[in-house]
A and B are shown apart, each in its own frame.
Chain A
């Protein structure tokens, strides 16, 4: 899951980035509203974590404006202000969830998964695809009931594909989701992960769309190639 964290406090931001990364999420961090706008233009994100007290602009205003411009990304607001008015204002501005500082990193991750699930219209957290099941919060993958051991990158890759069922993802988009912007990356690293994923889950799990990128294979794809 590709997360954009917009938080001006460097100390907190580094904690969130480290904590979410440790829980298997791919995280970008920006400290200002203008940086957040720029980042949303150049990359695809699954969810946004927004602190309200940004130095250059009020977080609520930013959110309102983004929603006005048609942004559908689920947004979780982080704030230290706990009055009911603040919370209502936040939700009215278009936030999908609200978490009060100080928070628990596991709760933050769980809520982000729930937001994503809600966007995908699923009522349980488990993603099923043919014989494959994937639980985003526990990051457990099973194939035909048997647990499969996936590395963190492979999980991110699988998740990106599962969340974008039927859509073709370009190599760049997949790199964003799996590595984020900060990791230096060898040119064939993505291919290596795709190769591993195919080996563990069956060739049909990732379909190559020549010249465009990759997409999730059909639900019974895994079975055919076994």
Chain B
């Protein structure tokens, strides 16, 4: 696409030139009419003057030959012809000697005629028995017209050109901030996220620059977060892998009980890698746009029971489950997989942070169209400052053996399915309240 400057200059220049040309044409045609009128007036004035002169002259002898007055004698301006004839058509006097040139004097007033192939304009005046005809050549009128046209159009043309030049320069000047912005953008490397600095900038462009810089800032933050996340993911995956590899190598170097111990540890590492991978995949799927809806509908009680099964494994008796006597059987309004995964992760977490074989409590409650799951552990609780980190990916509380993704997944599910999540940490344990929407019955 054509540059903005060229486009603006061409459009404005064309409009400018057109208006000026129309104005000039109007003016010139006016000028031409005025000039023609003046020249006609000159013919009239000359004819009247000749008539006045003729009256002062002695009567002309009626000779067949006719007398010639010189143009000087009759004081006729140069380039004009003058002829005095009788009513009968006899030429008494004329200002030019060529006998072939006889001016038509039949009609009074202005008259265009062709004499010897050249167009003339004539004026005939009757005075007594004389007819006085003055005439000038059309070609001379045109030459005069042309020179006036030329004299008038040169300054107009020069002015127009000057205007166009100024227009070009002015538009260039006006678009300078845009150019500065373009240059600043072109100087940047493609992956630079530094804010754009262009000063000074007109008020129309300032919002553009501000929006742009805000966008850069946001992209920068996103990239930084993703970079940290991939770094964390690499760390989380490499650590169990390292454990596996190291212990396998140790197993090769040793024998007997030490070897069995190493193999057991390697297996533990493999389990950890498996857990981390599963959780990472689940998180990616929850945060992505994949559909989890498999048509299975679970009531809150079923969700709780399945989650307990998934979380506790062997020691199911550690989880104390309480359901009110009259409890809604309405299914939860979210994919069963996600509701179970969220609750399982909460239970997992509670089991992990309750020391020894201490119990974890899970209770249900419905309020209106929502069901509330309350998970309570008997661990040491968590510091007020750390509450904000709880749902952060790969954040672990102290020496926790979890993969650091459980609560991040719960948070992602909460955001996706319109649930709510609340933590309440007390010295005698952490209470987590998760609510899910219920389907209206």
CB pair B240 A105 closer than 8 Å: no
- Residues on the B chain within 8 Å of A23, using CB: 253
Which interface residue of A22, A31, A104 has the most chain B CB atoms within 10 A? A22
- What are 10 sample pairs from A and B whose C-beta atoms fall under 8 A apart? A11-B240, A11-B272, A15-B243, A18-B262, A31-B399, A80-B237, A81-B234, A100-B238, A101-B242, A103-B246
What's the minimum C-beta distance from B430 to chain A, rounded to whole angstroms? Answer: 19
What's the minimum C-beta distance from B245 to chain A, rounded to whole angstroms? Answer: 4
Contact A101/B249 with A11-B272, A22-B254, A81-B235 known, Cβ cut-off 8 Å: no
- Residues on the B chain within 8 Å of A103, using CB: 242, 245-246
Quick one: which of A8, A18, A55 contacts B250, CB cutoff 8 A?
A: A18
A104 to B272, CA, bound (A): 20
What's the minimum C-beta distance from A42 to chain B, rounded to whole angstroms? Answer: 23
**8 shortest interchain CB distances as A-B pairs:** A15-B246, A80-B238, A102-B242, A11-B243, A101-B242, A22-B253, A80-B235, A18-B250
Contact A18/B235 with A12-B243, A55-B398, A105-B249 known, Cβ cut-off 8 Å: no
Interface residues in A80-98 by Cβ distance below 8 A to B read: 80-83
Confirm or deny: B239 has a beta carbon within 8 angstroms of a beta carbon on chain A. yes
Confirm or deny: A14 has a beta carbon within 8 angstroms of a beta carbon on chain B. yes
What's the minimum C-beta distance from B396 to chain A, rounded to whole angstroms? Answer: 8
Question: Which size bracket describes the interface of A in this complex?
Answer: 20 to 34
CB pair B231 A18 closer than 8 Å: no
Closest B residue to A14 using CB positions: B265
- Residues on the B chain within 8 Å of A100, using CB: 238
A82 to B241, CA, bound (A): 15
CB pair A81 B253 closer than 8 Å: no
A9 to B237, CA, bound (A): 13
Confirm or deny: A16 has a beta carbon within 8 angstroms of a beta carbon on chain B. yes
Given A14-B265, A19-B246, A80-B235, 15 other A-B residues pairs in contact with their CB atoms under 8 A: A11-B265, A11-B269, A12-B239, A12-B246, A15-B246, A15-B250, A18-B261, A22-B254, A22-B258, A55-B398, A80-B238, A80-B239, A101-B239, A102-B244, A103-B242
- Residues on the A chain within 8 Å of B240, using CB: 11
Which interface residue of A15, A31, A53, A81 has the most chain B CB atoms within 10 A? A15
Confirm or deny: B131 has a beta carbon within 8 angstroms of a beta carbon on chain A. no
Interface residues in A9-41 by Cβ distance below 8 A to B read: 9, 11-12, 14-16, 18-19, 22-23, 31
CB pair A102 B272 closer than 8 Å: no
A14 to B243, CA, bound (A): 9
- Residues on the B chain within 8 Å of A15, using CB: 242-243, 246-247, 249-250, 262, 265
A100 to B242, CA, bound (A): 10
What's the minimum C-beta distance from B395 to chain A, rounded to whole angstroms? Answer: 12
What's the minimum C-beta distance from A50 to chain B, rounded to whole angstroms? Answer: 15
What's the minimum C-beta distance from B248 to chain A, rounded to whole angstroms? Answer: 9
A83 to B262, CA, bound (A): 30
B326-356 interface mask toward A, CB cutoff 8 Å, 1 = contact, 0 = none?
0000000000000000000000000000000
A22 to B240, CA, bound (A): 21
- Residues on the B chain within 8 Å of A101, using CB: 238-239, 241-242
CB pair A102 B241 closer than 8 Å: yes
Closest A residue to B231 using CB positions: A81
Confirm or deny: B268 has a beta carbon within 8 angstroms of a beta carbon on chain A. yes
Closest A residue to B246 using CB positions: A15
Confirm or deny: A225 has a beta carbon within 8 angstroms of a beta carbon on chain B. no
What's the minimum C-beta distance from A26 to chain B, rounded to whole angstroms? Answer: 16
Confirm or deny: A67 has a beta carbon within 8 angstroms of a beta carbon on chain B. no
Which interface residue of A18, A19, A103 has the most chain B CB atoms within 10 A? A18
- Residues on the B chain within 8 Å of A83, using CB: 231
A61-87 interface mask toward B, CB cutoff 8 Å, 1 = contact, 0 = none?
000000000000000000011110000
Confirm or deny: A106 has a beta carbon within 8 angstroms of a beta carbon on chain B. yes
